[in-house]
A and B are shown apart, each in its own frame.
Chain A
Amino acid sequence: EAGVVQSPRYKIIEKKQPVAFWCNPISGHNTLYWYRQNLGQGPELLIRYENEEAVDDSQLPKDRFSAERLKGVDSTLKIQPAELGDSAVYLCASSPHLAGAEQFFGPGTRLTVL
C-alpha cells in the first residue's frame, strides 16, 4: 500500500514569493491534515479536512495561508506571500475516519524562505 505522497520535497524561495505544496493521502483515508514543524519542535496542526470539508482551520494563518481539497482526495497548501518565519517542514498526514485513528505522515516539504 502506498503511503502519503508529498511534493516537492524541498523548496527555496525569496520572501514575498508564493509557494504551494501538494499532498496525496493514503487511499481510502478520508481525513487529511497539514502540519508545520519547526526545528526542535513537534508538528503543529494547520488544518484538518474530512473529505473535502475543512473542519478545523483554527490554527491556519488565513491572511497568507490557504488550502483546498476539492475532490476529497489530494490537497494543496499555499502561502502567499511567504515570510522568513515560514521556513519550516510542512507535513501532510492522513487517517481513516475513525475516532482516535492513527495518523500516517508523508515525507514532508522542507521550505526555506530567504
Chain B
Amino acid sequence: QKEVEQNSGPLSVPEGAIASLNCTYSDRVSQSFFWYRQYSGKSPELIMSIYSNGDKEDGRFTAQLNKASQYVSLLIRDSQPSDSATYLCAVNLGAQKLVFGQGTRLTINP
C-alpha cells in the first residue's frame, strides 16, 4: 500500500460547480497535511495546510481532515477554469518527512 494515495483522474468539473479531491494515507501518527497545486510545467504551490480534524476554509478552498479514517480532502467551490491543474496531497510522516501522492489532474470546463 502506498503511503499517500490519490485518484490520478482526470477529474472533470463544470465551471461554477464544486470540485472534490480526495486523499488517503497509511500512517496513523501523521499530524500535518498539505494540499499543493501544480500547473503544467510549474512547481508545486502550497494552497492549504491542515493539522486537526474537521474543516479549514480559505476563500473558495476547504480542506477536510478525518484522522480516524486517515482521509483528507480538498473542496473547491465555484470552480474556475484557472483552477485546472494537478492537485498534490502531501502528508508529514514525522521528522518533517513529507510524502506526496501522485496527484489528481483537475479540469474545469467552461
Question: Would you call B26 an interface residue if the criterion is a C-beta within 8 Å of the partner chain's C-beta atoms?
Answer: no
| B34 touching A102, Cβ below 8 Å | yes
Chain A 29-48 interface 0/1 with B at a Cβ cutoff of 8 Å (1 = within) = 00101000000111111001
Closest residue of chain A to B2, judged by CB?
A: A42
**Cα distance A55–B96 when bound, in Å?**
10
Chain A residues whose C-beta falls within 8 Å of the C-beta of B4 in the assembled complex = 42
**Cα distance A43–B8 when bound, in Å?**
14
A102-B34, A103-B46 in contact; A56/B8 too (CB < 8 A)? Answer: no
| B97 touching A48, Cβ below 8 Å | yes
Chain A 72-110 interface 0/1 with B at a Cβ cutoff of 8 Å (1 = within) = 000000000000000001010001000111111111100
Chain A residues whose C-beta falls within 8 Å of the C-beta of B100 in the assembled complex = 42-44
Q: How many residues of A contact B (CB 8 A)?
A: 24
Question: Would you call B31 an interface residue if the criterion is a C-beta within 8 Å of the partner chain's C-beta atoms?
Answer: yes
Partner of B43, one of A33, A48, A91, A102: A91
Chain A residues whose C-beta falls within 8 Å of the C-beta of B43 in the assembled complex = 89, 91, 105-108
CB distance from A109 to the nearest CB of B (A): 10
Taking A40-B102, A43-B100, A103-B98 as given, write out 13 further A-B residue pairs in contact, using a Cβ cutoff of 8 Å, ordered by the A residue number.
Answer: A41-B102, A42-B4, A42-B100, A42-B102, A45-B97, A45-B98, A45-B99, A89-B43, A95-B96, A100-B32, A103-B90, A105-B44, A107-B43
Q: Which 3 A-B residue pairs are closest in the complex by CB-CB distance? A: A42-B100, A100-B32, A105-B43
A-B contact pairs, 16 of them (CB 8 A): A40-B8, A41-B102, A41-B103, A42-B90, A42-B102, A45-B99, A56-B95, A91-B43, A91-B44, A102-B34, A102-B49, A103-B90, A104-B46, A105-B43, A106-B43, A108-B43
